[in-house]
Amino acid sequence: MKGCRPGDIVLAPPFRLGNSTYPRPLVILSVAEAEEMQVCPVTSRPPPSGSPALACSLHHFREGGLDLFEDSYILVHKQGTIRERSIRYKKGTLESDYFRTVLESARSCR
């Protein structure tokens, strides 16, 4: 899917999280020239205590959102890369201030 940029949340498989590799929401952290995107996964399950994760709710979105009414969690410590062509569709875009918080947290986990 063309036109995705940092701060977008997209649905793209496969991204391994635990034992599952099903399609999941991913936050785009950065886009490289080779159509590779650095991402981190979003989950509906609260992470274990002490895990670096950020709660994400509908008010964190500038447009769109996730299909859940409860908080989701951005797992900033589980970063990976995907190819742009693997994106199925865009779920939404995070508010710019909140996305800066996501980036800062992700950078501190590298």
Tens digit of each residue's pLDDT (9 = 90 or more) over 67-105: 766 789 999 998 988 888 889 889 999 999 999 999 999
pLDDT of residue 62: 92
Q: Nearest CA to 51 among 12, 105, 13, 96? A: 105
Residue 25 inside a domain? The answer is yes
Residue 61 inside a domain? The answer is yes
Q: Nearest CA to 87 among 8, 17, 7? A: 8
pLDDT at residue 2 greater than cutoff 90: no
pLDDT at residue 30 greater than cutoff 90: yes
Q: How far is CA 81 from CA 15, 24, 73, 88, 92, in A?
A: 9, 13, 18, 15, 19
pLDDT at residue 18 greater than cutoff 80: no
pLDDT band at 109; cut points 50, 70, 90:
confident
pLDDT of residue 16: 63
Q: Which residues of 13-51 are buried (b: 16+ CB within 10 A; e: fewer)?
A: eebebeeeeeebbbbbbebeeeeebbbbbbbeeebeeee
Domain count, the chain: 1
* pTM score of the predicted model: 0.89
Residue 3 inside a domain? The answer is no
Residue 81 inside a domain? The answer is yes
pLDDT at residue 42 greater than cutoff 70: yes
What's 12's domain CATH number? 2.30.30.110
